[in-house]
Amino acid sequence: MASPEYEIVIQSPQGNQDPQRRYTSLDFNIPGFKHATGDNEGKDLAGFLKADIFSPQDFPKVVDLFAGDGSWAQRLVSSGWRAEDITCIDRAQTETPLVGDLSWYYWDLALLARAIKDASIMPDEVLGLKGKFDLAFLSFGACYLPSTAASPDEFCGFFLRNGGMAYIEGDLKQKGEDGKLIPLSKFN
């Protein structure tokens, strides 16, 4: 029996009405700002950026998954990344992106996670981004991945080259030669 082909690419995306779609870089520095998981992720990311754990020179190609209005892209551009090297993916189209010159794709990322888990047929547009990125962000979207789909690690790993890094809900992981994501602390 052939694997199902999911309708991942959204041809006519709706406007983004999610109230969490827009966090500006200022919001991440507000005392008490909490991510949905209860962690203060903005401060974690700021720490990673200050510690030079990843840089635009070593990890130039970035994908922001469940990107909203591009809050993470805004923070990365202000830290030296080029907007042209950042790809944002969301199911809804923002009318007010926080950064210009980003590449935007409109996909049903929950269906993509299922397709990854099921090893299903995927559109060429989707396969074209497999293994293309040095750095992946999944911060405000892991809760939207169905429990029957790929794990957040598998999901981010789909987009990363070997040696690439994923920032998943405040945890930093690196993709090993075997394709699995390993917590950064394991490398130290």
pTM above 0.85, yes or no: no
Which among 86, 73, 94, 57 has a CA at the least distance from the CA of 25?
A: 73
Type of residue found at 147: S
Residue 18 included in any domain:
no
> DSSP labels for 107-137?
B-HHHHHHHHHHT----HHHHTTTT-EEEEE
Residue 161 included in any domain:
yes
- Which of 8-12, 99-103, 104-108, 145-149 is predicted least confidently? 145-149
Residue 12 included in any domain:
no
Query: Is the Cβ–Cβ distance between 108 and 10 less than 8 Å?
Result: yes
Residue 141 included in any domain:
yes
| 58-114 residue pLDDT tens | 999 999 999 988 888 998 999 999 999 999 999 988 888 889 999 999 999 999 999
Number of domains in the chain: 1
Residue 182 included in any domain:
yes
Type of residue found at 20: Q
Domain encompassing residue 137: 58-187
Strand partners, 168: 138, 171
Residue 127 included in any domain:
yes
Strand partners, 93: 15
Which among 156, 148, 100, 106 has a CA at the least distance from the CA of 132?
A: 156
